[in-house]
Amino acid sequence: MTRPLDGITVVSLEHAIAAPFCTRQLADLGARVIKVERPGEGDFARAYDQRVHGLASHFVWVNRSKESLTLDLKQPAAMAVLRDLLAQADVLVQNLAPGATARMGLGRDALRNLNPRLVACDISGYGNDGPYRDRKAYDLLIQSEAGFLSVTGNGDQPAKSGNSIADIAAGMYAYSNILAALLQRGRTGQGSHIDVSMLEALAEWMGFPMYYAFEGAAPPARSGAAHATIYPYGPFATGEDGMVMLGLQNEREWKSFCAVVLRQPALADDARFSSNARRHENRKALEAVILGVFGRLTPAQVTALLDEAQIANARVNTMADVWAHPQLAARGRWREVGSPAGPIPALLPPGANDGYEYRMDGVPAVGQHTDAILRELGRSDADIASLRAASAI
């Protein structure tokens, strides 16, 4: 089947997570993604850990279905290769330091002169201008700057996200902006420049707590894994040292929860708990009631009662549980892809489309496709040998 981005070539000057996550989504849709890496060590994310048969967990997650081209961009001969690639590419994605591509002679105007149809996307911590432009920006630092840490954790203790949420947010906005730019190019024939900021991406995701604290109002309190403003909504301990996650969304569910799960129908009309705002205000008292009931039951018994009452609930899964999740297996979401360490499992991208299948190719070794790409660009074997002798590739 034809994929949406078949025939689209993406060149990426990428490292770490944000840009690689963006370009992997493009590769999933059929784009050819040429990942430019440093000769020898490649993307520094390759060395984050060795958890996947000796490969880094971050790297295998965001770099399947790509081609690896090694270039030392400090050398003119390597820059000439990059310019040849960009002259015929559709998309450039980069998350180098702000201003780095301009210093390389690949600023906005230079790229437009080289290839007017090119869609160029910069991903940075704070954007290409403003007083924070040149500040170093890592995922945890952006979580802090965007206020994410102010609403996560428990009490006075903040907690970072367990995944790279700022990088993921920026990568997804880069991905959607690139898709929009390609649609626009189809109408105008012209490429465009995209400036994606990690701070702005995560700030958008902070919309609820920001508006909750509108005009100086108190922000949502840190509440661990529980919802900050809806109650009961979160994890609750059961007998046998178990835990269940549940969530109530409306008064109909509250009445059902009291009657079926707690076996205390009169509690629904208790003045302390008769609306979500009151339940939130008196959550300690209500928590004691809930835990008093749940503590006499096993996790399975609590879940059965919640299902009977049609109250949303979930298991508090570990990573091992997710690997073995029956719903992912039943929907056929796993595939096997190649890697320098052999076959590894990989999840299909979210969203099943009956018009095409996602591209699910292997994770590349450093420089695995360098010679083939150079030959496509017209370099002879002697040229390639010369580049390699000079450590330009």
- Is 241 one of the catalytic residues? no
Name the segment(s) of the chain with CATH classification 3.40.50.10540. Answer: 9-206+336-389
Which one of the listed residues 84, 122, 167, 383 is annotated catalytic? Answer: 167
Q: For the chain, percent helix, then strand, then coil, each to nearest 5?
A: 45, 15, 40
Orientation of helix 165-188 relative to helix 198-205, angle to 10°: 100
Task: Give the whole-angstrom CA distance, residue 61 versus residue 83.
Answer: 29
**What is the CATH code for 233-316?**
3.30.1540.10
Q: What is residue 228's predicted lDDT score, i.e. its pLDDT? A: 87
Any idea which architecture 9-206+336-389 has in CATH?
3-Layer(aba) Sandwich (3.40)
Residues 274-301 have a mean pLDDT of 96
For residue 272, count CB atoms less than 10 angstroms from its CB and return exposed for 0-12, middle for 13-18, buried for 19 or more: middle
- Percentage of the chain beyond pLDDT 90 is 95
Residue 173 near residue 198 (C-beta atoms within 8 A) = no
Q: What is the pLDDT of residues 40-95, one digit of tens each?
A: 999 999 999 999 999 999 999 999 999 999 999 999 999 999 999 999 999 999 99
Alpha carbon 100 to chain centroid, angstroms: 24
Torsion 286-287-292-294 (CA) sign: positive
Residues 166-172 have a mean pLDDT of 98
Does the pLDDT of residue 39 top 90, yes or no? yes
Task: Give the whole-angstrom CA distance, residue 88 versus residue 10.
Answer: 10
Name the segment(s) of the chain with CATH classification 3.30.1540.10. Answer: 233-316
CA dihedral 89, 90, 95, 100 (to 10 degrees): 60
Does the pLDDT of residue 98 top 90, yes or no? no
Residues 299-315 have a mean pLDDT of 96
Does the pLDDT of residue 1 top 90, yes or no? no
- What mean pLDDT value characterizes the chain? 96
Peptide bond into 232 cis (omega under 30): yes
